[in-house]
């Protein structure tokens, strides 16, 4: 499993107009090639009157699967530029379909490349990118007299605390990057002179919006 990954925050639709041609970019998070193809066909059916429905998608932890289609536009002016934008943003598991309604003015090869790549880039910026981090749930149990120290440490290190339980002791349920668990436990142990016990919980991805 990846320690981190980047993808779009959510599925979206974003439209731009260039010389009276409408470029409608549809973005979708995908989990399989079949899902990507189904999405592309869905957009084609929805916009069957459009001149072109060009597409590109990346799939897999290392983008093992990459596909693109110019759908009737001059070769290399739509699908590949769209794919390059997805790769430049280091996204995984995303499908982009750009629907074009021709406005009567030809854009030329360079203009088409800028239009299709720009449609995807603008849509990604509008939607937002999230970073998913593989994190381990760690329950840290300590005596009451050490809670102040631990609380300050967690705040300083920007450790996400899921919950805090106050019984005869204090238990903080924390989310820690999976590759930092050993370091986290060592730091807490040193900070509290060994007066802490740790219990590992589930491992899962948490996503945070990236401000760019």
The per-residue pLDDT for 208 is: 85
CATH fold match for the domains 4-127 and 133-210? no
Average pLDDT of span 132-140: 94
Across the range 198-206, mean pLDDT stands at 92
Closest CA relative to residue 80, chosen from 94, 101, 66, 59: 66
Euclidean distance between CA atoms 105 and 3, whole angstroms: 47
Q: What is the mean pLDDT of residues 136-154?
A: 96
Annotated domain spans of the chain: 4-127, 133-210
Do 29 and 18 meet the contact criterion of CB atoms below 8 Å apart? no
Model confidence band, residue 160 (pLDDT cutoffs 50, 70, 90): confident
Q: Write down the pLDDT at residue 85.
A: 98
Per residue in 12-32, pLDDT (tens digit) is 999 999 999 999 999 999 999
Interval 69-124: pLDDT, tens: 999 999 999 999 999 999 999 999 999 999 999 999 999 999 999 999 999 999 99
pLDDT tens for residues 30-46?
Answer: 999 999 999 999 999 99
Residue pLDDT, tens place only, 186-197: 999 999 999 999
Taking domain 4-127, whether its CATH number is 3.30.310.80 is answered by no
**Structural domain 133-210, CATH architecture:** 2-Layer Sandwich (3.30)
What is the number of other CB atoms lying within 10 angstroms of the CB of residue 51?
Answer: 15
Cα 168 to Cα 95: distance, rounded to the nearest angstrom? 52
Distance CA 169, CA 13 (A): 50
Please name the residues in contact with 107: beta carbons below 8 A apart, sequence gap of 6 or more: 18, 19, 21, 115
């Amino acid at each position: 499993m990846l320690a981190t990954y980047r993808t779009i925050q959510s599925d979206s639709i974003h439209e731009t107009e260039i010389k009276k041609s409408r470029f409608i970019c549809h973005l979708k998070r995908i989990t399989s090639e079949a899902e990507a193809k189904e999405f592309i066909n869905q957009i084609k059916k929805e916009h069957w009157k459009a001149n072109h429905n060009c597409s590109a998608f990346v799939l897999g932890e290392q983008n093992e699967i990459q596909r693109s289609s110019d759908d009737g536009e001059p070769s290399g002016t739509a699908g590949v530029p769209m794919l390059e934008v997805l790769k430049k943003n280091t996204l995984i598991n995303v499908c982009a379909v750009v629907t074009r309604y021709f406005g009567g003015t030809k854009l030329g090869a360079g203009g088409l490349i800028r239009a299709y790549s720009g449609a995807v880039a603008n849509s990604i910026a509008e939607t937002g990118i999230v970073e998913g981090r593989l994190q381990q749930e760690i329950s840290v149990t300590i005596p009451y007299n050490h809670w102040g120290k631990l609380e300050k440490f967690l705040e300083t290190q920007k450790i996400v605390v899921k919950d805090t339980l106050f019984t005869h002791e204090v238990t903080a349920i924390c989310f820690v990057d999976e590759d930092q668990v050993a370091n986290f436990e060592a730091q807490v142990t040193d900070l509290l002179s060994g007066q802490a016990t740790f219990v590992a919980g589930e491992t899962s991805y948490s996503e945070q919006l990236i401000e760019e």
